[in-house]
Structure 1
Amino acid sequence: MGMVTPIFRMFDVEKAKEFYLGYLGFRLDWEARFEPDFPLYMQVSLGSLVVHLSEHYGDGSPGAAIRVETNGLDEFHRALTAKNYRYLRPGIEETEWNTRELRLLDPFGNRIVFFEASGTEEA
Structure 2
Amino acid sequence: MDEAVIPVLRVREAAVAVAWYERLGFAERWVHRFEPGFPAFVEVARGDVRLFLSEHEGDARPDTLVYLRVRDVDAVAAEFGVTVEEAPWAREVELRDPDGNRIRAGTPTD
The alignment's TM-score, normalised by the length of structure 1, stands at 0.79
The answer for the alignment partner of 2:46 in structure 1 is 46
Cα displacement (A) at 1:70: 2.0
The alignment partner of 2:16 has SS state of helix
Identity %: 33
CA distance in 2, matches of 1:52, 1:40: 10
Cα displacement (A) at 1:99: 1.6
Q: Provide, for residues 55-77 of structure 1, a one-character-per-residue CA deviation record: whole Å limited to 9, x for no partner.
A: 01211100011112222222333
Q: Provide, for residues 32-70 of structure 1, a one-character-per-residue CA deviation record: whole Å limited to 9, x for no partner.
A: 001001110000011121000000121110001111222
The answer for the alignment partner of 2:20 in structure 1 is 19
Unmatched 5+ residue regions in structure 2?
none
Unmatched 5+ residue regions in structure 1?
82-88
The answer for the alignment partner of 1:85 in structure 2 is none
Does structure 1 retain, via aligned residues, the 8 Å contact 2:8–2:59?
A: yes
Q: CA RMSD in A?
A: 1.7
CA distance in 2, matches of 1:35, 1:19: 25
CA distance in 2, matches of 1:72, 1:109: 23
